[in-house]
Amino acid sequence: MDGNYYMIHDYLIFIGVFAIFLLITLCIYFFSKNQRLNNKNTELSETNKLIEQKLNEVQLEHIGTKLNPHLFKNILNSVQSHAYQTYMSLDKLANVLDYILYESNNKFVSPKEELNFALSLIEINKIKVNPLFDFRIKSKIDKSDAVYEEKIFAPLISVDLIENAFKHTDFLAQDSFIAIHLELENRIFTMRVINKASLKNVLEKEHSGFGSQSLDQRLKMIYNNFYTLQKSSKNGIFTAELKINLGEFYDKVRYTR
C-alpha cells in the first residue's frame, strides 16, 4: 500500500510539473506571438507612414511643378461652384419644406407664395439634370398685379405638372427638353409645361403623363368655371397648359363673403 501511495504521489507531482511546464510554454508562446504581432504592426505602421509621406511628396510635386496653373484654377472654380450649388439647393429645399408643412394647410395662399414655391421646386428638380440638358424656364410675373398678394390661390396646384415633366422625360435622348412658362398678368395665372417624353413610357394614350385626375377634380371643385386645363400630345411632345382667371374668381369670392 505504501508503494501504491508513493506511486500516486509521484504521479500527481509529475502531472503538476507537467501542467506548470505546459502553462509556462503556452505563456511563452502567446507572449512571443503577441510580440511578433506588435512588431508586425509597428512595421506596417512605419510602412504606411512612409507610403503616406511619399504620396504627399508626389502630390506636392505634382501640384507645385507639373499641374497647369490654369487647370488648377478651373478645378478650384468647379469645387466652389458645386459648393455654391449645394448651398442654393438646400436653401430651396428648406423653402419647399416650409411651404408644404405650413402654407399648404391653408385653404388659399397668394400667387406670390405659390410662384415662389414652384420656382424652388423646379430648381430642386434641376439638380438631377445634366447641365447640358435643354431646359428652359421663363417667368413673366407682374408683381404689381392686383391679385399678386391676395389669398386666392389653392396651394400645391403647380406640383403635378412640374413633377410629371421631370418624371416622363428621357434625359439621355439628344432631342429631349423641358420648357416651363409661368405667367401672372391681368389677374390671370398661366402655367405651360412642355416636354419631350421618354419612349419607355406609355404616354401616347389620351390624358396620360399629365398628372392624376385628382388635379382636374380639385381645380373644378375650387375654381369651377374660372379655369381651363388643356393637354395635348404630338410626335412625343406633351403639352399641358393651365389657366386660372384669378381676377374673376377673386371678385366672386369677395362679393359672396
Tell me if 170 is assigned to some domain.
yes
Tell me if 181 is assigned to some domain.
yes
Tell me if 86 is assigned to some domain.
no
Tell me if 249 is assigned to some domain.
yes
Residue span of the structural domain in which 250 resides: 109-256
pLDDT digits (tens, 9 = 90+) for 165-211: 888 888 888 888 999 999 999 999 999 999 988 765 544 444 444 44
Helix 69-101 × helix 111-125 angle, to 10° = 140
pLDDT digits (tens, 9 = 90+) for 223-233: 999 999 999 98
- Rounded to 5 degrees, φ, ψ at 74 are -65, -40
Name the residue type at position 240: A
pLDDT digits (tens, 9 = 90+) for 38-75: 666 676 667 667 656 655 555 544 444 444 454 445 44
22 versus 71: which is more confidently predicted? Answer: 22
Rounded to whole angstroms, the Cα distance separating 106 from 13 reads 92
Cell representation of residue 9: 504521489
Name the pTM for this structure. 0.62
Strands (E), 204-245: 227-234, 237-245
Tell me if 92 is assigned to some domain.
no
Measured CA distances, 22 to 9, 10, 26, 28, 31 (Å): 20, 18, 6, 10, 14
Tell me if 82 is assigned to some domain.
no
Here the CATH number for the domain that contains residue 136 is: 3.30.565.10
User: What is the count of structural domains for the chain?
Assistant: 1
Tell me if 137 is assigned to some domain.
yes
Tell me if 4 is assigned to some domain.
no
